[in-house]
């Protein structure tokens, strides 16, 4: 558990990331039998990407929330995605999907990929869950680490940003 926490703390920092910026062109790894999550496949859509840990209770809440929200925004040009940044999460993501019955695309990031996605360095810190909001032009417009005030009223704030990005 200490190793997972240490890795997550060393993965990335969202507070110092530049916005807006182009979304990194990444493909989230997945276990056999699950289609890899290729970010470029969602070009032209508003994206909400959760960076999370499979071992974190708040992360489970965030991912299952985005899963429910996806159903509400179905067919409206919005896609929710998730990427686990745990060490060894490639073996944990399949059971996570099954246990929580998540239907949004989920995958796994290496430490370097998490840094690219979140525009951070190797000594920065990431508090998970973290949300990134991407506009239809593929620009990361907003991002929030798990300890940000954004999550105090996460539902209202998430919906507000999605609605604003859809109008652009």
The structure's pTM equals 0.90
In the prediction, which pLDDT does 16 show?
Answer: 56
pLDDT reading at 5 higher than 50 = no
How high is the pLDDT of residue 122?
A: 82
Domain at 75, CATH number: 3.40.30.10
The DSSP line for 110-152 is -HHHHHHHHT--TT---PSSEEEEE-TTSEEEEEE-TTSGGGG
Is the peptide bond between 140 and the residue preceding it cis, with omega within 30 degrees of 0?
no
Q: Which domain holds residue 135?
A: 2-167
Look at residues 34, 42, 128 and name the one whose alpha carbon lies nearest to residue 85. Answer: 128
pLDDT of residue 17: 78
What's the pLDDT score for residue 3? 43
Domain count, the chain: 1
What span, in angstroms and rounded, lies between the C-alpha atoms of 7 and 1? 10
């Amino acid at each position: 558990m200490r190793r997972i926490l240490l890795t997550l703390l060393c993965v990335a920092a969202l507070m110092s990331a530049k916005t807006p910026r182009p979304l990194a062109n990444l493909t989230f790894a997945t276990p056999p039998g699950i289609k890899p999550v290729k970010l470029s496949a969602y070009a032209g859509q508003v994206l909400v990407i959760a960076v999370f840990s499979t071992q974190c209770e708040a992360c489970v809440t965030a991912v299952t929330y985005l899963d429910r929200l996806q159903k509400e925004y179905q067919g409206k040009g919005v896609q929710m995605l998730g990427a686990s940044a745990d060490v060894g999460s490639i073996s944990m993501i399949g059971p996570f999907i099954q246990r929580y019955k998540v239907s949004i695309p989920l995958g796994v990031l290496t430490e370097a990929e998490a840094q690219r996605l979140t525009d951070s360095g190797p000594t920065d810190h990431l508090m998970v869950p973290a949300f990134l909001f991407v506009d239809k032009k593929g620009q990361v417009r907003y991002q929030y680490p798990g300890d940000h005030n954004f999550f105090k009223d996460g539902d209202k704030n998430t919906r507000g940003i999605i609605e604003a990005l859809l109008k652009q």
